[in-house]
Structure 1
């Protein structure tokens, strides 16, 4: 692999289970190349979401290392991890997790405002992204006034507003019908490629996986390149 931005070294993740422990990830190793679209597939319960959370610094491995450009994320304290997630990571989940009391524009601008931009600068970036995801006429609508596909496009805009180097997505179209899914995927892939970000996406959808640069399968607690 010529230019990995993330490297996994013998990553193990175990959870307590009664008097023993459940090993979900069993020595996962591999890398994710910078600026590419990577898909992780696998059966339900295989550990895909767990692996994504470890890559994003939302959880820590039982053993092994997750390296971002050579930096061991396990060596970062909570403050440094929070700054890393805010600056370098964008997250899109199956549920949009929009703030119900905020408009589309407010939902998207908040991460940029919290990262230190002025309100006007954050709002300008948010407006641009909402136009790019096809929601220029929905900026002042609340989540309850949007369709499922529109809410997910707002979530995508929110994930990209800080210009993250890495975007993590966990079944981002899993709750949408097929037609809406393809529309949202088109927007998502187009924006990620335009921004030059590295996308790591978990999905069961073979059609979606066919659009990736690299496809992995997570089986038996280990990652295999397809």
Structure 2
């Protein structure tokens, strides 16, 4: 296979590998949430919200501090994403007139190929920025609702709605973080399609380790949830909130 055609084969293969992994992860989260860290954290947040809202005067400061930490984390990543996207755009503009590229890159080294690489990185970082901004939006809304002094009648509905908003913010946070991961593989594409494919395999392997749960973790979380449910309310049979 000629060198210039490697990008047409290896790069789509790396992107397809990452897409297939995330699709499998989404399927597992929807159908077997206890097998993923995302699913377990979602259930834990639902019970945490109900605990916080049962005593808003006592737990209000703790709840707001926890949400504030999430907002700060999203803000830092969003700022980093837009800064990197701006830097990549400026670098693309400055190097557009230059025709000298590294001879050590094994793959397509044309000016058009480099433009596509930099534009892909910028697009990925802008997408991460928008997703993280949405997570800040949901976190902020959940922060207002967490301190709402719910009455006994509202307590069956209000925590579920607040947990939905908090979980939705976490979904956008996770998507923005994975857009960062994708941008790192696209950055390595600058050095050729082989590093890009290798980094895609490495990231999928690392994410599988980070996203999956062990039998001990599942048993531990299940015991906490059962104990928590028995302490909070005698009839907490609400179905989990879908993210």
- Structure with the largest fraction of helix: 2
Bigger radius of gyration among the two: 2
TM-score, structure 1 length as denominator? 0.28
- Structure with the largest fraction of strand: 1
